[in-house]
Structure formats: structure tokens, C-alpha cells
């Protein structure tokens, strides 16, 4: 904890009277974009070099300590209070580890118990809707899937063997979008496209696929194939057929690489 204490002290110096002009004027609101960016960078680093991952975790930790220092100046709480609360939460939500209950649960049973204990906690007792508590800053695809899961837990869902109904709903939403497209109704298209995306996310949930990750994987494929085409032709002076030929070559190269 020596280095953690050092980090806490460094943040206090940077935000202090003789500290950094930029750091001194930061607020919780101004730190939000930084937090989103740092989180995204951690997610990317998790897939690669451990040294880079370590550095990005440090940046994220710095943001957390920075926020706690702002709250300490407001007289609300400090980083020690944050650490204490999360420790107490971990102990409270793991009675099968830290309590007197037998530790022979499956991962699924553990999750059920975790959710049940959450509902007894003060911070969750004022929630009126099953949909309360979903972070508004979640990416839209993740938020859609989260909302659907919460609704499903209280029975607002098709059965797992009714995936044909989910597919039917996707087709219905696509047909409704086409109607608005024929009308050239931009507002209607926007609404129906949103409905279609929501239905597709629901299909992903029924297939036990993370919709956000599925889209990320497709983006990566597009990025790789586009760069392949870009490196092998003059994009400004090539025909679409020429570019499509290279695109198909890129797909074949991907398949070879997977073998």
C-alpha cells in the first residue's frame, strides 16, 4: 500500500495551492470524459501487452483517486472511505466465503445470492422499478441488453424455447422500417431503426451473445479488411468491383489465418 499512499499524496499536491493549474480547476463533471476514455483504454489494453495494461490501470486508478480527493475537499468522503465501503460490500455479499454458510455453491447460485443481498442494502431499497440502477452512460447496445435482462428476471420475456418469436419480432421491426423508408420519413426511420436495433439486441441475448462485443468484433473485421484493400489499390481511382475483389481476398486471408 506504500505506492498507493504515495499516489494519494501526489494527487493532493497536484490539486493543492502550489500544484498544477490544470489539475486545480478540474471538477467531477470535467473528469467524466476522462473516465470514459480511460476505461475504454483499459478495455483495449486487457487484450494486449501486460505492461500497457498495467499503465492503463494506473491511469484509471488516478482518476478514481482524483474524484475521491475532490469529494474530500467537499467534506463528503475520502479514498479511505471508498476502500472501506467496498471491503464491507465484498464481505457482506460473500457469506459463503466470509460467513458461516457452506461454500458449495455453483457460480449461478452465487450470482442469485449476490443479487438478493444487493436488494437488502440501503442504496438499493429506494428503487421502485426493476429497471432502476442501470447506468445511463453504458454504451447503448449494452444498456439495451441490460434492460432486457432485468425485465426478463420478473417474467416480461418470451421463453427460452421461443426464439422463433424473437426472430419474428426482428422481421416485423425491419418491415416497419421499410415502410417509413418508402415514405421518406426521416423521423419515422430513426424511430423504427431504433426499434430494429433493440430487437436485434434481444436476439443476441437469446443466443447468449454479448451484443456490444459482437459489434466490436465485426468492426475489427471491417477495419482489417478495409486496410487490406487500402494497401493494394488506389481507392480514389479504383472501381467498386476492383475493391470488392480485394475485399474477398482479405476474407480468404482471414480464413487461412484461422486454420
Average pLDDT over residues 186-206: 97
User: pLDDT band for position 25 (50/70/90)?
Assistant: very high
Residue given cell 431504433 in the structure block = 194
Q: Is the pTM of this model over 0.75?
A: no
Decide if 56 contacts 38 (C-beta within 8 A).
Answer: yes
Between 20-29, 155-164, 200-209, the lowest mean confidence (pLDDT) is in 155-164
Decide if 110 contacts 93 (C-beta within 8 A).
Answer: no
Query: Angle 186-206/140-153 helices, nearest 10 degrees?
Result: 60
Mind listing the domains of the chain with CATH numbers? 2-94 (1.10.287.1080), 140-209 (1.10.287.1080), 215-257 (no CATH)
C-alpha cell at 211: 451484443
Q: What is the pLDDT of residues 71-94, one digit of tens each?
A: 999 999 999 999 999 999 999 999
C-alpha cell at 3: 505506492
H-helix segments, the chain: 2-15, 21-24, 28-45, 50-73, 79-92, 95-98, 107-120, 122-125, 140-153, 163-183, 186-206, 211-232, 240-258
What's 100's DSSP letter?
A: S
What count of Cα atoms within 13 Å lies in the side-chain half-sphere of residue 125?
3
Averaged pLDDT of the chain: 93
Residue given cell 495494461 in the structure block = 53
Amino acid at each position: 500500500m506504500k505506492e498507493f499512499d504515495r499516489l494519494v499524496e501526489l494527487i493532493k499536491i497536484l490539486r493543492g495551492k502550489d500544484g498544477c493549474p490544470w489539475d486545480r480547476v478540474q471538477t467531477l463533471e470535467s473528469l467524466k470524459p476522462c473516465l470514459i476514455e480511460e476505461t475504454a483504454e483499459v478495455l483495449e489494453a486487457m487484450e494486449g501487452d501486460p505492461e500497457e495494461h498495467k499503465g492503463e490501470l494506473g491511469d484509471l486508478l488516478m482518476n478514481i483517486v482524483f474524484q475521491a480527493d475532490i469529494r474530500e475537499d467537499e467534506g463528503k468522503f475520502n479514498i479511505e472511505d471508498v476502500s472501506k465501503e467496498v471491503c464491507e460490500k465484498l464481505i457482506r455479499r460473500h457469506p459463503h466465503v466470509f460467513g458461516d454458510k457452506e461454500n458449495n455453491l455453483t457460480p449461478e447460485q452465487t450470482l442469485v445470492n449476490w443479487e438478493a443481498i444487493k436488494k437488502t442494502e440501503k442504496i438499493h431499497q429506494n428503487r421502485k422499478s426493476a429497471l432502476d440502477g442501470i447506468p445511463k452512460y453504458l454504451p447503448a447496445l449494452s444498456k439495451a441488453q441490460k434492460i432486457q435482462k432485468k425485465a426478463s428476471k420478473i417474467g416480461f420475456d418470451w421463453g427460452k424455447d421461443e426464439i422463433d418469436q424473437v426472430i419474428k419480432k426482428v422481421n416485423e421491426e425491419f418491415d416497419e422500417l421499410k415502410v417509413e423508408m418508402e415514405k421518406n420519413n426521416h423521423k419515422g426511420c430513426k424511430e423504427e431503426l431504433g426499434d430494429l436495433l433493440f430487437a436485434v439486441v434481444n436476439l443476441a441475448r437469446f443466443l447468449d451473445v454479448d451484443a456490444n462485443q459482437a459489434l466490436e468484433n465485426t468492426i475489427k473485421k471491417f477495419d482489417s479488411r478495409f486496410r487490406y484493400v487500402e494497401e493494394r489499390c488506389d481507392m480514389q481511382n479504383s472501381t467498386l468491383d476492383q475493391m470488392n475483389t480485394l475485399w474477398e481476398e482479405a476474407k480468404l486471408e482471414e480464413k487461412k489465418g484461422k486454420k
